Structure 1
Amino acid sequence: MAYQLQEINRRVRTDVTEFLAECDENYAQRVSLAADKILSNLERSPIVLLSGPSGSGKTTTAMKIAEELQRRGVNSRAVAMDNYFLTVNPQTAPRTPEGAIDYESPLCMDTELLGQHFTALSRGEEILIPRFEFARQMRNDSLGTPLRLEKNEIAIFEGIHALNDNIAGRHPEATKLYISARSNVNEGAALRFKGTWMRLTRRAVRDYSFRGQEVAQTLAMWANVRRGEKLYISPFKGKADIVFDSSLPYEVPVMKNYAVPILKSVPEDNERHDELLDLIASFEHFEAIDPALVAKDSLLREFIGGGSYKYH
């Protein structure tokens, strides 16, 4: 699916508040359809596996699905699969073609423990969700969180590798969801903004604002992130029961406020500077939207901050 630049700019100029509300409602409808599918499968399994590439909005979507299920009388627990990373062992860790540790690889995940936990939760047994300390690159089970599902409760396991055969294959009864920001923005037939640029922009803005990471660092990591997506994530999206797009037609006009200044700060000798110039030029096609107009529960708040959800 592609959005049309002319229509986006027209709505920004004429009815921006209604435009934002309409986009958020369309996303809420996708969340509702996902809840329908989860509930229809509840008798088979209380496990939901939610996958998607970096910057796709998995965390917010998982929380929104949990809210929708709660409205229907079904409690759900969101479980971040990042906590199932194995403690990094430089001797055995998977490597990129360049020789660095490949943190995008599913071999970094404790798939055996995940399989055990899927089975235990399905039987009504208690598990201890581990805690991975990223600062120390190690798992600390002493900080784990106990979890047992009561009748008609659901656990949503969210992570980039959730649909990988080594994970989803251990519990094929689970409901499987795949989320990505995939829509381009066109002007007629001409491409003005790539869908992959939406995810790169989301990540660059979030990393800069909340993780103390310069855009140049995000760009340096992005090539391996994209390589990992093509190898480890995208090949499994066909396993999903529901695939939906997390892009919002209003997000480029909002992100313009955040992204352009930090993108312009990247030194000219950066090896991806030509692509940066293309990206900066693409933003210029869009009318800007004041971020203050963005709803507090918008998915976009995961990346720009100021929202009603708490992110860890």
Structure 2
Amino acid sequence: MVKFAAVSSINREAADPQSFIKLSEDNYSAYIAEAAQRAILSEKPIILLSGPSGSGKTSAALRLEKCLKEQGHSAHTLSMDNYFLPIDEESAKELPRDEDGNIDLESPLRLDIPLFSEHLRKLAAGEEFDMPRFDFATQSRSGSVKMSRRNDEIVIIEGIHALNPTVTGDTHKFAMCMYVSVRTRLRSADGSLLHPRHIRLMRRLCRDKLFRKRQYEESFRMFASVSRGEDLYITPYKSRADFDIDTFIAYEASVYKNFLLDGLTAQKDTELAKFPACEEILKFLGELDPVAPEYVPSASMIREFIGGSELNY
């Protein structure tokens, strides 16, 4: 179900930022608590957690792990990113390509599916295996680590393809499936709406600029490819989820304004002018009253994109 949040209402709440933030974070925490309870009741040893880029799935997985531990259950989180295939001159010939001939970075075929499938079954059975480590800087594997699951342990596996049957196969006997994404649209004063995909793009713009040294133009340019990948490989399988989490945080765009408005405004008449999403985001950022980043709790999902998180990503 699609939900809406009026910019005018957000601004009214932002006049008392601490109360607004507490209410918003409590709402998100309620999702996590319910997800943990559902996982416990399912009595399944694996949680497969999927969501598109910028959905906050890593934070959701880590918060879920923490919540399960607080309720007396052993749990840990694994990232499917470790199963990416290396990209070198030889292997690049075999990797999937998009319509423009570039390596399709969103395709599930970028994963070592046979190895992941083998390890997923071993994990469910409590057998030991050597999980690879993927180094994004070199796009190669950098060793491995011994991994196994104890009998009473719940393992959360997060990744964009965690619900794709091409990758995970038939897992209903041993895995609970969860899907996280932004499901809420922002509504401006004139009634226009900001699509959830653009809220996630705000998150990516912050993260890419702050931690990945990407210029805004590169992030916007990648947005088309990322969106294409979502439509082909991720959203078609969200119906497989046993539980959904709306990761929209009511005050988050008001925080992102501090990081994005000036920079995007300064460049909007340059190469960014060819990206309609830039104009849409600027419209909403211009209407929102800012909320200072210092107020954001250290365990908030927002910290995944602006830094300063207490979670170990």
Range class of TM-score, shorter chain = over 0.9
Quote the sequence identity (%): 35
Check whether the contact 2:80–2:158 (CA below 8 A) recurs between aligned residues. Answer: yes
Q: Quick check: 1:46–1:122 contact (8 Å CA) kept in 2?
A: yes
Q: Is the 8 A contact 1:118 1:171 kept in 2?
A: no
Q: Which residue of 2 aligns with 1:59?
A: 58
Aligned residues: 306
Give the match for residue 285 of structure 1: 287
User: Equivalents in 2 of 1:222, 1:273: separation in Å?
Assistant: 10
Q: 1:129 to 1:7 in 2, by over 3 A?
A: same
**Corresponding residue for residue 105 of structure 1:** 107
Contact 1:48–1:156 (CA<8 Å) still a contact in 2? yes
The reply to whether residue 248 of structure 1 matches residue 249 of structure 2 is yes
Q: Which amino acid aligns with 2:93?
A: Q
Give yes or no for contact 1:53–1:160 (8 Å, CA) kept in 2: yes
Is the CA contact (8 Å cut-off) linking 1:192 and 1:282 kept in structure 2?
A: no
Provide the secondary structure at the position in 2 that maps to 1:190.
coil
1:305 maps to 307
1:161 positional shift: 0.4
When the two chains are superposed, the root-mean-square deviation of aligned CA atoms in Å is 1.6
Structure-1-length-normalised TM-score: 0.94
| Superposed displacement of residue 112, structure 1 | 1.4
Cα separation, 1, equivalents of 2:187 and 2:276: 21
Query: Structure 1's 6 and 144: CA in aligned 2 closer, same or farther, altered over 3 A?
Result: same
The CA deviation string for residues 251-303 of structure 1, in whole angstroms up to 9 with x for no partner, is 11111111112222436234634432232122111111111111111100000
Paired residue for 2:49?
Answer: 50
Question: Which amino acid is the alignment partner of residue 71 of structure 1?
Answer: E
Contact kept, 8 Å, 2:220 with 2:275, in 1: the verdict is no
Q: In the alignment, is the contact (CA less than 8 A) between 2:79 and 2:159 conserved in 1?
A: yes
1:193 aligns with 194
Any idea what SS the aligned residue of 2:22 has? helix
Q: Distance in 2 between matches of 1:252 and 1:152?
A: 39
Once the two structures are superposed, residues 65-109 of structure 1 have per-residue CA deviations (whole angstroms, 9 ceiling, x without a partner) of 000000111111110100001123221110010110001000111
Q: Which residue of 1 aligns with 2:80?
A: 81
**Which residue does the alignment assign to 1:262?**
263
Q: Take 2:271 and 2:242, find their aligned partners in 1: how far apart are those partners?
A: 45
| Equivalent-residue separation in structure 2 for 1:135 and 1:55 (angstroms) | 20
Deviation at 1:163, TM superposition (A): 0.3
Name which of structure 1's ranges 21-30 and 194-203 shifts more when overlaid on structure 2: 194-203
Q: How does 1:114-129 map to 2 (within 5 A)?
A: 114-129=116-131
**Aligned partners of 1:158 and 1:38: how far apart in 2?**
15
Contact 2:261/2:286 (<8 A) preserved: no
Q: CA deviation at 1:172?
A: 2.5
Once the two structures are superposed, residues 106-151 of structure 1 have per-residue CA deviations (whole angstroms, 9 ceiling, x without a partner) of 01111211221121122221122111122222223xx212121112
- CA–CA separation in structure 1 for the residues paired with 2:231 and 2:197: 12
User: After superposition, where does 1:85-96 map in structure 2 within 5 Å?
Assistant: 85-88=84-87, 89-96=91-98
For the Cα contact (< 8 Å) 2:177–2:241, is it kept in 1?
A: yes
Structure 2: 5+ residue stretches without partners = none
What's the counterpart of residue 70 of structure 1? 69
Q: Distance in 2 between matches of 1:194 and 1:3?
A: 11
Alpha carbons 2:198, 2:277 under 8 Å: kept = no
Aligned-partner residue type, residue 127 of structure 1:
F
Superposed, which structure 2 residues align to 1:161-200 within 5 Å?
161-173=161-173, 174-187=175-188, 190-200=191-201
- Which residues of structure 1 form unaligned runs of 5+? none
Contact 1:115 1:170 in 2 (8 A): no
Q: How far apart, CA to CA, are the structure 2 residues paired with 1:271 and 1:283?
A: 16
Where does residue 213 of structure 2 map in the other structure? 212
Q: Answer with 196-205 or 165-174: which moved more.
A: 165-174
- Alignment partners' CA distance in 1, 2:80 and 2:233: 15
TM-score normalised by L of structure 2: 0.93
